[in-house]
Amino acid sequence: MLATRALSLVGKRAISTSICVRGEHGVAKVDDYALPAYFDRRENPLPDVRFVTELSAVQKSLKEKEKGSWATLSNEEKIALYRISFKQSFAEMNEGTKEWKSVIAGMFFFIGMTGLVVLWQRKFVYGPVPPTFESEWKEKEVQRMLDMGINPVEGFSAKWDYENKEWKK
């Protein structure tokens, strides 16, 4: 807090100037991104600088009033002071966006594209299916499974009626 007040009083570049001049190396150019920045993040509730850096006359007088007893500040003044220091409140910064709609739309689109690719593959890439899938073969396969008594207690053969030679109703 003290540092931010010092910064706003002395000016951004003056601090680095006063440090560098002592060492007689001249003044290094300070890039904007290297200075403390303001950002609204839930995990960093008190950023390094205030949001509003250049205070208007009204805001300056408000800041002077802040130095006194806070009980004299009205609710609007407290909110004005808050808005000087912060851009968005926690409620504002945490509210959801409508991004999920784009996400779902993108998901459906790419699933659809994949479906088209799969259909093309079925037609133009894959060879014929093995003979074990033909109906005749499958009939013989089922008959053999029933003869062997596959899963006779609760599974496959349990559903076959051996007396009447048909599937149980």
Give φ, ψ of 136 to 5 degrees.
Answer: -60, -50
SS3 for 75?
Answer: helix
User: Residue 24 or residue 147: which is nearer to other proteins going by CB?
Assistant: 147
Considering the complex, what minimum distance in angstroms separates the CB of residue 153 from other proteins?
A: 5
Structure tokens at 3: 């540092």
User: Is residue 75 a contact residue for other proteins (CB under 8 A)?
Assistant: yes
Q: Looking at 49-57, 94-102, 124-132, 151-159, which segment touches other proteins (CB under 8 A)?
A: 151-159
Considering the complex, what minimum distance in angstroms separates the CB of residue 155 from other proteins?
A: 11
User: Is residue 144 a contact residue for other proteins (CB under 8 A)?
Assistant: yes
Q: Which of residues 31, 95, 99, 154 is near other proteins by CB under 8 A? A: 154
Are residues 30 and 12 in contact, defined by beta-carbon separation less than 8 angstroms?
yes
Considering the complex, what minimum distance in angstroms separates the CB of residue 46 from other proteins?
A: 17
Considering the complex, what minimum distance in angstroms separates the CB of residue 152 from other proteins?
A: 7
Are residues 77 and 62 in contact, defined by beta-carbon separation less than 8 angstroms?
yes
Q: Looking at 10-18, 25-33, 45-53, 146-154, which segment touches other proteins (CB under 8 A)?
A: 146-154
User: Is residue 153 a contact residue for other proteins (CB under 8 A)?
Assistant: yes
Length of the chain: 169
Strands annotated E in the chain: 160-161, 166-167
The residue type of 75 is N
Helix, strand, coil content of the chain in percent (nearest 5): 60, 5, 40
State how far the alpha carbon of 160 is from the alpha carbons of 6, 139, 141, in Å. Answer: 90, 14, 14
The residue type of 141 is E
Considering the complex, what minimum distance in angstroms separates the CB of residue 146 from other proteins?
A: 9
User: Is residue 78 a contact residue for other proteins (CB under 8 A)?
Assistant: yes
Using CB under 8 A, list all residues that contact other proteins. 75, 78, 144, 147-149, 152-154
